[in-house]
Amino acid sequence: MFDIAVFGSLFLTLFVIMDPPGITPIFLALTSGRPAKVQRRMAWQAVCVAFGVIAVFGICGQQILDYLHVSVPALMIAGGLLLLLIALDLLTGKTDEPKQTKDVNVALVPLGMPLLAGPGAIVSVILAVQKADGFTGQVSVWCAIIAMHVVLWLTMRYSLVIIRIIKDGGVVLVTRLAGMMLSAIAVQQIINGVLQVIRGA
């Protein structure tokens, strides 16, 4: 009733794409300045949003893309551009301004999507669901998806301890570092999308 090879393959793929260790500084930067209770809630909300998006695309992702006439490369480029806008805000310090962050739920965008449930994760899940053989394969795929989101939640939930250690100055440093990392991820997504367009031409 369970295919460990399918589970392991998808779990490792999603781990590399979603990158729980790498998401930690970005999560800390986007949620800094909020009460610990709110940060914990945002960690849970981000994981729920990501799982919801992944689940929808896992069930009927190819049909959605076909209906909207959207190609996978276009999805990757759009996601990369959105992440790049967020990265620029982190790098320039605009997220330090209370008016821009206190009333915005970053757990939905950009954390839930496209940072966690980004084009790479969506495409990987669509392909895994399509390739899974029978009931056993499907169970293994969905167990891998659930397990990955549990890991993401644990990583963000307990990364809040870091904030209490590094204080305000450390948060500013982490914010700039997160902006740099996120901009690199965004540019790489755009490059991957453009390369796929060129190969398909």
**Segment 33-71, tens digit of pLDDT:** 888 899 999 999 999 999 999 999 999 988 998 999 988
pTM, two decimal places: 0.77
Question: What is residue 43's predicted lDDT score, i.e. its pLDDT?
Answer: 94
pLDDT at 13 > cutoff 60: yes
pLDDT category at 199 given cuts 50, 70, 90 is very high
Q: What's the rounded Cα separation, in Å, for the pair 89 and 85?
A: 7
Q: What's the rounded Cα separation, in Å, for the pair 85 and 63?
A: 29
Q: Are 47 and 156 in contact (CB under 8 A)?
A: yes
Question: What is residue 99's predicted lDDT score, i.e. its pLDDT?
Answer: 38
Question: What is residue 104's predicted lDDT score, i.e. its pLDDT?
Answer: 61
Burial of 151 (0-12, 13-18, 19+ CB in 10 A): middle
Bin 19: left if φ > 0, else alpha if -120 < ψ < 50, else beta.
left
For 95-152, write each residue's pLDDT tens digit.
Answer: 544 333 445 688 888 889 888 998 889 988 998 998 888 899 999 999 999 999 999 9
Q: What's the rounded Cα separation, in Å, for the pair 57 and 117?
A: 10
pLDDT category at 5 given cuts 50, 70, 90 is very high
Residue 114: DSSP 8-state? I
pLDDT category at 14 given cuts 50, 70, 90 is very high
pLDDT at 179 > cutoff 70: yes
User: Mean of the per-residue pLDDT values for the chain?
Assistant: 85
Contacts of 175 (CB under 8 A, 6+ apart): 28, 29, 32, 90, 93, 95, 96
Question: What is residue 103's predicted lDDT score, i.e. its pLDDT?
Answer: 53
Question: What is residue 82's predicted lDDT score, i.e. its pLDDT?
Answer: 81
Task: Find where tokens 């982490």 sit.
Answer: 174
Return the closest-CA partner of residue 196 out of 61, 67, 77, 70.
Answer: 77
Cα 19 to Cα 55, 115, 121, 149, distances in angstroms: 19, 10, 11, 11
